[in-house]
Amino acid sequence: MPQIKQFIACKNAKTATVKPFCEIKNITDTTADLYFYGDIVSDWWGAWQEEDQYPDAIKNFLAEANGRDLNIYINSGGGSVFAGIAIYNMLKRYQGKKHCFVDALAGSIASLFPFVDSDKPTIPKNAYLMIHKPWCDCEGNANELRKMADTLEAIEAGIWSIYEEHLAEGVTIEQIKELMEAETWLSGEEAAKYFNVSVGEENTAVAAVQDYTKLYCKNTPEALARGNPPDDTKDQAAAKEKEIRSKIAALTIQHME
């Protein structure tokens, strides 16, 4: 058995505005495990949950992994488009081999992550790849709203280019565009009809409809919806958090323009 050491990425307690926490990753002499089990956010401040990931944390993790092979496990409903694309590009540049496993859900911008696999990502029969058109909350006059629509279309074109590199034989990007238009949830077997992926056996991981997933879902599979029983207190907190996140997302996109 290779010796295991721990990589600890800690929030800086001196600058923390929320309760600091540490995320522990196990790294062996030859491999490192990377988990996307929460929302994809822009930075440390936006990581409200321990599971949330952001580009700077991934950059530090990859530096510590230092060329080891990566096992990447995904159960994320997505989040920030720009953060997700940055993470995707960092993982693509990483020199070690990458093996991706969708444990339950690779949704929205997190649907790009399986395609950093050095061979083919594995999606079990009862896990999902969810693809849709990018969206945002936006306030402003008619000119500003038109500009935002142009920005979203440019972002979508970039996402198309990534999907297009991983299409199954005979599939066209026009078919993928139609699936995105409809917000499509693809099980492992269905995903293999459109993309170069391996279909894994059913697993026992439970997909949760996470924060970002709640904002855009209209075709959520019943099995996922059932995994989140009603809770009035949590619903109220989630609604407030949604409002805050939406404002932050709109400001972030406007700032990056």
Over 186-204, what HEC string results? EEHHHHHHHECCEEECCCC
Dihedrals phi, psi of 200, to nearest 5 degrees: -95, 170
* CATH number of residue 21's parent domain: 3.90.226.10
236 CB-near residues (< 8 Å, 6+ apart): none
Q: How many domains does the chain have?
A: 1
Whole-number pLDDT of residue 241: 59
For residue 39, count CB atoms less than 10 angstroms from its CB and return exposed for 0-12, middle for 13-18, buried for 19 or more.
buried
Residue in the block written with tokens 């920005």 = 151
**pLDDT at site 225:** 59
Question: What string of DSSP letters covers the chain?
Answer: -PPPEEEEEE--TTT-SS---EEEEEE-SSEEEEEE-S-B-SSGGG--STT-B-HHHHHHHHHHHTT-EEEEEEEE--B-HHHHHHHHHHHHH-SS-EEEEEEEEEEGGGGGGGGG-SS--EEETT-EEEE--------S-HHHHHHHHHHHHHHHHHHHHHHHTTBPTT--HHHHHHHHHH-EEEEHHHHHHHBS-EEEPP--------HHHHHH-SS--HHHHHTS---HHHHHHHHHHHHHHHHHHHHHHHHH-
Q: Domain of 167?
A: 5-256
Length of the chain: 257
> pLDDT means per 10 residues in the chain (257 residues)?
37 40 60 92 77 91 93 92 94 96 94 96 95 80 84 88 95 96 94 96 63 59 56 53 57 46
Asked whether 83 and 40 are in contact (CB, 8 A), the reply is yes
Return the closest-CA partner of residue 127 out of 198, 214, 230: 198
Rounded CA-CA distance 159/174 in Å is 13
pLDDT at res. 6: 36
CA angle 5/50/239 to nearest 5° reads 170
Contact call for residues 143 and 94 (beta carbons, < 8 A): no
Q: What pLDDT, on a 0 to 100 scale, did the predictor assign at position 142? A: 86
In whole angstroms, what is the distance from residue 215 CA to residue 237 CA?
14
Residue at 175: amino acid letter? Q
